Chain A
Amino acid sequence: MNFYIVTLIKTGLIAVVLLTFCAYLVWIERKVLAHIQLRQGPYRVGPHGLLQPLSDLIKLVTKEGVIPANVNMFYYLLAPFLSVALALISIAVIPFGPVVEVFGVQTQMGLTDLDIGVLVVLAMSSLGVYGMVIGGWASNSKYSLMGSLRSSAQMVSYELPMAMAIVAPLLLVNTLSFREIAAAQEGFYLGFLPKWTVFAGPFPQAFSFLLFMIAAFAETNRVPFDLPEAETELVAGFHTEYSSTMFAAFFTAEYASITTICCVASLLFLGGWHPLWPAEYGSDFVPVVLFLGVALILFFHAAQSVRARMWDRFTFPVFGLLMLGLAGLFLVPLLKPLLIPLFWFAAKTGLLIFIFIWIRGTLPRFRYDQLMRFAWLTLLPAAVVNLLVTGLAVALTTN
């Protein structure tokens, strides 16, 4: 019975956190893009637009859901549901930290730990195509159909290099369970270089990491590979005909799959929740220093608030106090084993998500034939060679 209660609590917690994060990811993305383009981004709703996701949600839910004439109703309604369900499932196999003890209950941070965890993520990402394909086909519009044709071809093509880039670090860690993958990357070479697969011998997986990230951009249909929804050519691609909640479902699915794939990347290549340098050299104090720094900056700007931003004088100290509280939490010895791994995991994943947004603000879109040629003639051979070299290195060093 205990197991059911703990699992229910964890499921609720992860669902709430993930969905809230997906909503705020939109805000973060708009802010980062705006600052790249020397704009301010969302600013009206709440301090610095912080309540924008909430108002977006209210807007999307209360809008009229227009269902175009001559759509295939069953599949039209099925597609967004399928999309969001398949995008959210794979978070279940991802651990966010080691096994911890909370209130006397020993539990793992994360929903479950399968010994085929990596395969489950691959399977869900390959099934994720269906949401787009069905949605595009059922909409009965040429733009949607073109978008979904492109997406199915693109995702099937990029799955191959992605799978091969995943297999290479798996050769080093010898397991398919995410928990064991992260556990295998614990420890340091020479006392300071972490044993993450990007650094690990016999063949550091930095190149696989690069290949994986490129394929991940294509899998999640992000710039520069967002051909399925190229708005200059296809209006909005496969979700052209969707509005209201159904559009929100597609949106959530996209951001959930970005989050998942960044979690997978940080687990496979960046050592999961293991810190960048040993705790003896004070890696435990990184979050404290970080949040303290943020709090100080906030206090400074509150004191020096620009005239045009009157509200900063009142809101910044509040957020500064929040950050101080967070910094203090990381010093509580009872919470430390829980929060420190979570911090490192979130930091790595967040950094990767930031790279996703950064590249969206920087790179132009590929042309469609370039996209396919790149997948088959550049990425796939590179992944095969990388896999061969890794295999050879592993075979030569282990007996």
Chain B
Amino acid sequence: MDALLFLTFAGIAVLCAINLVLQTHPISSALSLVGVMGSLAVLYLLLGGAFIAAVQLIVYAGAVMVLFLFVIMLLNAQAERTTSKSAMRAWVSVPLLFTFVILLASLIIQRAPAGAAVKFGEFTGGSVANVGRALFTTYLLPFEVTSILILIAILGAVVLARKEI
């Protein structure tokens, strides 16, 4: 069952990611990215990260990607035009990409800890209580610093989006 779920959602994630790269219209790319995020959330659940899966859906898929869609629709972004240059780029880079992925994968399979297997339910340390405890004790300072980061980001966004710059 684990393998089946993994293969299904890994497949969806990879297909959506390929679609993201291939689609010329930004809205299609954005929705494929949402697909990747959704299937990654399921994989996080398989890895015992209930909290991180929920946050993935709420923050990434539910807020960040909606913001992307909002901006795409606001700017009425059109599909990219294909140029001769872009066609050439694709011819050169697709084989390169394949080699890169195969190299990386073989390296990972070689170096990955031997016998390490993932079985659903064996690790439940990613529950809300555990993550919360770690966030508010060990990682309290970074957590507070992120709030300042977000504040700065809000200010930056407001200043940038205001009027003429």
Identify the A interface with B (CB < 8 A).
75, 114-116, 119-120, 122-123, 126-127, 129-130, 133-134, 137, 145, 148-149, 152-153, 155-156, 159, 176
Bound-state CA distance A176–B55 (Å) is 14
Which chain A positions have C-beta within 8 A of B27? 75, 137
Bound-state CA distance A116–B50 (Å) is 7
Which chain B positions have C-beta within 8 A of A120? 54
Contact across chains for B128 and A116 when beta carbons are under 8 A apart: yes
Q: Is B120 in contact with chain A by the CB < 8 A criterion?
A: no
Which chain A positions have C-beta within 8 A of B62? 123, 126-127, 129, 159
Contact across chains for A119 and B54 when beta carbons are under 8 A apart: yes
Q: Known pairs A119-B54, A122-B54, A126-B63; list 7 more (Cβ under 8 Å).
A: A115-B128, A116-B53, A123-B58, A126-B57, A130-B31, A133-B66, A156-B66
Given A119-B128, A134-B31, A137-B27, answer yes or no on A127-B57 (Cβ-Cβ < 8 Å). yes
- Number of interface residues, chain B, beta carbon within 8 A: 21
Partner of B54, one of A75, A116, A137, A159: A116
What are the 6 closest A-B residue pairs judged by CB atoms, nearest first?
Answer: A126-B62, A119-B54, A123-B57, A116-B50, A123-B58, A116-B54
Question: Can you list 7 A-B pairs with a CB-CB distance of less than 8 A?
Answer: A75-B31, A116-B53, A119-B58, A126-B58, A127-B57, A152-B70, A176-B128
Bound-state CA distance A137–B27 (Å) is 9
Q: Is B74 in contact with chain A by the CB < 8 A criterion?
A: yes
Which chain A positions have C-beta within 8 A of B51? 116, 119
Name the distance in Å between B46's Cβ and chain A's nearest Cβ. Answer: 14
Contact across chains for A152 and B128 when beta carbons are under 8 A apart: no
Partner of A149, one of B54, B63, B73: B73
Q: Is B20 in contact with chain A by the CB < 8 A criterion?
A: no
Partner of B70, one of A123, A134, A153: A153
Q: Is B69 in contact with chain A by the CB < 8 A criterion?
A: yes
Identify the B interface with A (CB < 8 A).
27, 31, 34, 50-51, 53-55, 57-58, 61-63, 66-67, 69-70, 73-74, 127-128
Given A126-B62, A127-B62, A129-B62, answer yes or no on A149-B57 (Cβ-Cβ < 8 Å). no
Task: Tell me the dominant secondary structure on chain A's binding face.
Answer: helix
Bound-state CA distance A211–B23 (Å) is 42
Bound-state CA distance A295–B74 (Å) is 56
Bound-state CA distance A134–B68 (Å) is 13
Most chain B CB inside 10 Å of its own CB: which residue of A119, A122, A123, A130: A123
Considering the complex, give the chain B residue whose CB is closest to the CB of A176.
Answer: B128
Which chain A positions have C-beta within 8 A of B69? 130, 133, 137, 152
Bound-state CA distance A116–B128 (Å) is 7
Bound-state CA distance A120–B55 (Å) is 9
Name the distance in Å between B42's Cβ and chain A's nearest Cβ. Answer: 12
Considering the complex, give the chain B residue whose CB is closest to the CB of A114.
Answer: B50
Bound-state CA distance A2–B63 (Å) is 40
Name the distance in Å between B16's Cβ and chain A's nearest Cβ. Answer: 14
Name the distance in Å between B56's Cβ and chain A's nearest Cβ. Answer: 9
Contact across chains for A145 and B73 when beta carbons are under 8 A apart: yes
Which chain B positions have C-beta within 8 A of A115? 50, 127-128
Contact across chains for A122 and B128 when beta carbons are under 8 A apart: no
Name the distance in Å between A117's Cβ and chain B's nearest Cβ. Answer: 10
Name the distance in Å between A162's Cβ and chain B's nearest Cβ. Answer: 11
Bound-state CA distance A256–B69 (Å) is 25
Bound-state CA distance A123–B62 (Å) is 7
Partner of B66, one of A114, A116, A123, A152: A152
Contact across chains for B34 and A130 when beta carbons are under 8 A apart: yes
Considering the complex, give the chain A residue whose CB is closest to the CB of B72.
Answer: A137
Considering the complex, give the chain B residue whose CB is closest to the CB of A125.
Answer: B62
Contact across chains for A137 and B57 when beta carbons are under 8 A apart: no
Considering the complex, give the chain B residue whose CB is closest to the CB of A155.
Answer: B66
Which chain A positions have C-beta within 8 A of B53? 116
Contact across chains for B127 and A133 when beta carbons are under 8 A apart: no
Which chain A positions have C-beta within 8 A of B31? 75, 130, 134
Which chain A positions have C-beta within 8 A of B67? 156
